Amino acid sequence: MINPSYLSAALLLLLISCDSPAGRTPAASSGSEAPFAGSTGTTDPAALGSSAANLPDSLHLISPSQVGRLRLNMKERELLALVPAAQLTKTSYQYKGVTYPAYRLRDAQQPQAPETILEFISGPDSVVTLRRIRVYDPQYRTAEGIGVGSPFGAARQVYGLTRVRQDEDDFVAISGQMRIGWILDEKSLPANHGTDMSTADIPPATRIMGVRVR
C-alpha cells in the first residue's frame, strides 16, 4: 500500500513543475514590443533614414548663422584665436569682381575629409568678418540630420523649400527660415533646366553636394 504522505509530496512537485516558467507555453509576441523598429521591422539606424543615422556632435552641427563653433560675422582675429593655425590655409575668392580673403579649414578629427571654406568680407573701418561658410564634409549635419550626401527630398520635407535657383557658381535650394543654402548635384536635374525652378520639379533623390550658411 502506497504511503499517503508520499502521494501528497509527489502531487505537490507535479504542481510546482507545471507552474514554473520552463513548464509554460510562451505567449505569442506582439510586433509592437520590438524596440526602435521602423515600419519595415529593421532596427538598423542607417536604414531608418539620415535623421536617425547621422546626428552630429556639437563641433559638426549646422544651425542658422553657425557651423560648429564658427559664427557668421565673427572677425578674422577671432577665427585665428579659436582655430589652431595648422588647420587653416589662407586663400581668396571673388565676389562681384572683388577679391576677398578666405580660409580652408581642415577637420581636426578627420584631416582627409573635404575642407570647409570660410569666406570673409571687409566691413566698416576695413574690419574683415566672416560672410559665408561653405561645407562639403558629410560629418556636418543639422539637428535634423540633413547634410552633404542627403537626398534633396529629405531637406524639402523637413524645411519646406519652395524655390531652387542658380546663385553664383552653385545651383542652390534656399531655406529662408534657416538661412541655409543646399547645393544640389546638377547632374541629377532635368535636362535643359532653367536658372529658377520649383522644388516640385527637382527629383527627390537628387543629392546635396554642399551646404552654404550665410
pLDDT at 140: 97
Report field, pTM of the whole predicted structure over 0.85:
no
**Grid cell at residue 30:** 506582439
Question: What are the residue boundaries of the structural domains of the chain, listed by start?
Answer: 45-213
For each of the chain's 214 residues, which pLDDT tens digit applies?
555 554 444 444 444 444 444 443 333 333 333 222 222 333 233 333 444 456 899 999 999 999 999 999 999 999 999 999 999 999 999 988 999 999 999 999 899 999 999 999 998 788 999 999 999 999 999 999 999 999 999 999 999 888 899 988 899 998 877 889 999 999 888 888 889 999 989 999 999 999 999 8
The amino acid sitting at 137 is D
CA distances from 160 to 7, 35, 49, 153, 199 (A): 77, 30, 18, 10, 9
Q: Tell me the C-alpha distance between 194 and 15, whole Å.
A: 81
In CATH terms, 45-213 corresponds, of 2.60.460.10, 3.30.1280.10, 3.40.50.280, 2.40.50.140, to 2.60.460.10
Q: Tell me the C-alpha distance between 183 and 140, whole Å.
A: 14
* Cell 529662408 sits on residue: 176
Distance of CA 79 to the CA centre of its chain: 24
pLDDT at 53: 57
Q: Tell me the C-alpha distance between 212 and 119, whole Å.
A: 11
